[in-house]
Amino acid sequence: MKRIEHINLAGFAFQIDEDAAQRLRRYLDAIHKAVDQPAESAEVVEDVEARLVELFNTTLLDKREVVSIEHVEKAIAVLGEPEEFSLKSENEASEKTSSESEAMEKGPRRLHRNPDDKIFGGVSGGLAAYFGIDPILIRIGFIVSLFAGFGFLLYLILWIAMPKAKTIAQKLEMRGLAANVGNIRKFVQGEQQTRGQSGPDSRTRYSGAKKTGALAEAGEFISQLFLLAIKAVGRLIGWMMVAFGIFALIVVFAWLTGTIDTSAGRIGASELHAFLSRSSDHPSELWILYAGFVLLLVIPALYALAVLIRTVLKLPKLDLRLKAGVLVCMIAGGVLLGLGLSSAAADWREEDSISTVVALDPEQTSWRLETTSSEGLSSDIKLEIEDEEFRMILAGDSLAVGWVDVSIESSGSEPGSILTTIDARGSSEKNARENARSVSHPIEISDSVIRLPALYGIPSNQAFRMQRVRHLIRLPEGSIVTIGAEAAAILGHSSNNSLLSEDEMAGHRWKVGPEGLECLDCTPEELEADPFESRAHSTDSTSQTSVDLRKRSAESTPGLVFSAQPQHSEEERLRIRPIPGLSIFSRLVQKIDAYGTLSAFR
Amino acid sequence: MAPENSSAQMRKGVLELCILAALDRAPSYVPDLIVEFQNAGLKVVEGTLYPLLTRLKNAELLTYQWEESRSGPPRKYYRLTERGKSALLESRSSWKELVHSVETLLQPIEN
């Protein structure tokens, strides 16, 4: 693709390619200078322009066709090079320019390393040519800055950034001279002249004579090695970018289409956004994370897609600047994600819990445990996660979390009570306790019925901070508990000595005994269920320690780590149990890692 | 102005004469002149003629008139002025003399 310019030649409008326009401009400029009588040059240029219109019109097939560099070259072939406009012979012309070197046409200045005037990499020589000053001044500057500490790095960066002036055109550009035929010829002549003259003092400003020594040769060798290494690293980075981009493509595709099917439910972009906005106090934090996500994953994904398509279609490779841009985006994205996550993590840093005790009527000896299941949640469900241990429903503005754990144990001869512990995380321990306090989890006790909500609410102005509710129901030995059918879902860690799982405990009457709960109305079949199937095997006889049934199932399998686990005292248990703290996140991540990405392609 | 050396003077002189002679036959614009020169075996590009025509016109040896063109802007058709015609007449005889002299001098030495 080329940019075009609109130009006016002798009153005729043309669309012309940028490079062709540049060539034409230089050509007309050169004619203006070449005409021997300055007074005549304006009229000559006018005539030439009028003739150019004719020439273009005869070569262009269509009024709309764009004048290309070929058209311009053809026209110049008819009209002749600018030197033809002068009647002086070529020798005279070059004599004139070698005596008055300023006569070389000016052009755009470009920074190049000067291979003809160098001590090490030609950086100083290039800078000197660029600014039109003596390279010795630049070299002194570098040596001074070397002692200031940044000189070496500066030199290295410039070395990498500045391309070496290899062609004569580049050598001319390095000095801010137009790279046209006339200048090139003059330059080459100047070079030959300087070569003819011997002695180091004859270096003219346009000298092309090489000033190289052993140091420069060593420098050249090192620079070659250096470039080679940079190229290798660049290629490696390129491959890594594509590999990362393909990975990002899969992740982005999976997340945007919401096809990740975890056991906790489908989690797509909208669900994730709903969850994240409910767990962040600062909206800006969220947008930083998203920006990071886009920069780190979406852009490389698009990049990988482009690379793959181009490879398949055998299109030319992408521009290096684009690749560098993608790399910069990825780095920026990584930084943003890191900032966002560390800012978010600060809100989750500390963990603490609050406990409340509700005394139970000592007169009651028979209890019934029920759960209140349905809470007034709106039907606008944005997110629903359900898992063995964890439930989360985000409907409208209200967040309901089912992360309740109920244990029943013997209090011996003491009166019964319910110890409710709410764990939460926060930016500080105080903040964590505040977050725990915000949880609304009403316990209803009427006569002999204990009602515990299966889901607890977190107020809409309160962010989710992994609030978790645990109830420890302590009943005097000999009390009878009937566990409602619904209550099984929240019944986590009650030890019973009848080899039954939580699900199987529901709907039965239990007696609080010294070694746990004893079933009063279980049928022999239920009791004789396969211990491995029911995953329960009573080994501990201490009634006060309620051991996680899942742990026990592990203990029943020889060789597992849990078998060596020491028993904890009550206090220790309270402190250790909340540790599944970050589990919901780690589990989410694990699940997505393990099969979430794969399930996207199911 | 830098002094022009003899070869430039000569080239200019010859080309000026050629232009005058060609325009004496028929008024023309630059591409016509080029065709005529090429037919005569003279290798000149258009660019060389523009400054010469301008100079001859400024010296009032030539004049031009605009003619409409379908392929672009109006063309300058040059023709000789009266001064140009007499200049051509003078130059023609001096050229012939010059050629004769030069030819004689260029003869290889025999005997």
φ, ψ at A452 (rounded to 5°):
-115, 130
Rounded Cα distance, B108 and B111, in Å = 10
> Which range is least confidently modeled, A51-65, A285-299, A489-503, A546-560?
A546-560
Inform me whether the C-beta atom of residue B91 falls under 8 Å from chain A C-beta atoms: no
Per-residue pLDDT tens for A309-351? 888 777 777 777 888 888 899 899 999 989 888 888 888 888 8
Q: What is the predicted pLDDT for the residue at A335?
A: 92
Distance, CA of A356 to CA of A440 (rounded, Å): 13
Q: CA of A6 to nearest chain B CA: how many angstroms apart?
A: 17
Question: Using the beta-carbon criterion (under 8 Å), do A47 and B76 form an inter-chain contact?
Answer: yes
Contacts of residue A378, defined as CB under 8 A and 6 or more positions apart, other chains included, come to A395, A396, A398
Q: What is the pLDDT of residues A2-45, one digit of tens each?
A: 788 888 888 888 889 888 888 899 999 888 888 877 778 888 88
pLDDT at A554 over 60: no
Question: Cβ contacts of residue A108 below 8 Å, gap of 6+?
Answer: A173, A176, A178
Q: Kindly state the average pLDDT of the residues A369-382.
A: 68
Q: How far apart are CA A112 and CA A554, in angstroms?
A: 71
Residue among A379, A383, A380, A378 at smallest CA distance from A266: A383
Residue A488 is given by DSSP the state G
What are the DSSP calls for A187-222, one per residue?
Answer: HHHHHHHHHHS-SGGG--TT----B--HHHHHHHHH
Q: Quick one: tokens of A428?
A: 């500080």
pLDDT digits (tens, 9 = 90+) for A398-456: 778 877 788 888 888 888 889 999 998 888 889 899 888 888 878 888 888 888 887 88
Contact criterion met (CB below 8 Å) for A437 and A386:
no
CA–CA separation, A377 vs A398, rounded Å? 7
Question: Collapsing DSSP states into helix, strand and coil, what is residue B13?
Answer: helix
Interface contact A91, partner B, CB < 8 A: no
pLDDT at A52 over 80: yes
Strands A391-395 and A398-402: antiparallel
Across the range B92-106, mean pLDDT stands at 88
Least confident range from A23-27, A110-114, A562-566: namely: A562-566
C-alpha span between A303 and A249 (Å, rounded): 9
Please give the backbone phi and psi of residue A575, each rounded to the nearest 5 degrees, phi first: -75, -35
Torsion sign, CA atoms A144, A150, A153, A155: negative
Name the percent of chain B lying above pLDDT 70: 89
Judged by CB atoms closer than 8 Å, whether chains meet at B48 and A84 is answered as yes
Nearest residue in B to A58, CA atom: B71
Output the pLDDT for position A194: 53
Q: Count of CB atoms within 10 A of residue A376's CB?
A: 8
- Cα angle A545, A547, A548; round to 5: 155
* A334 contacts: CB under 8 Å, gap ≥ 6: A292, A296
SS3 A70: helix
Do the Cβ atoms of A4 and A52 come closer than 8 Å? no
Do A363 and A479 touch, CB atoms closer than 8 A?
no
Question: Which value does ipTM take for this structure?
Answer: 0.85
Residue A118 has pLDDT above 80, yes or no: no
Instruction: Say how far apart CA B37 and CA B32 lie, in whole Å.
Output: 9
Tell me which of A100 and B28 has the higher pLDDT.
Answer: B28
**pLDDT given for residue A548 in this prediction:** 39
Q: Which residues of A touch B74 (CB under 8 A)?
A: 50
For β-strands A404-410 and A468-475, DSSP reports them as: parallel
Mutation target among B52, B54, B75, B76 for the A interface, most CBs of A within 10 A: B54
pLDDT band at A553 (very low <50, low <70, confident <90, very high): very low
- Residues of A with Cβ-Cβ distance to B30 under 8 angstroms: 47, 51
Are A115 and B83 contacting, i.e. CB atoms less than 8 angstroms apart? no
List, in sequence order, the alpha helices (H) in A347-404.
Answer: none
Which region among A214-228, A239-253, B2-16, B29-43 has the lowest average model confidence (pLDDT)?
Answer: B2-16
3-state secondary structure of B62: strand
Q: Out of B8, B47, B71, whose CB is closest to A58?
A: B71
Neighboring chain A residues of B72 at a CB cutoff of 8 Å: 10, 12, 50, 53-54, 57
Please give the mean pLDDT across all residues of chain A. 73
**Highest mean pLDDT (candidates A125-129, A400-404, A589-593):** A125-129
- In this structure, how many other beta carbons lie within 10 angstroms of the beta carbon of residue A532? 12
| pTM for this entry | 0.43
Q: Which of A47, A86, A92 is the closest to B5 by Cβ? A: A92
Backbone φ and ψ for A208, nearest 5 degrees, come out as: -105, 0
pLDDT band at A587 (very low <50, low <70, confident <90, very high): low
Asked whether the beta carbons of residue B47 and residue A35 sit closer than 8 angstroms, the reply is: no
In the chain, the amino acid numbered B12 is K
Can you tell me the distance from the alpha carbon of A237 to that of A331, in angstroms, rounded to the nearest whole number?
A: 12
Residues 6+ apart with CB under 8 A from A570: A544, A545
Q: Which of B5, B44, B50 to mutate to test the interface with A (most CBs of A within 10 A)?
A: B50
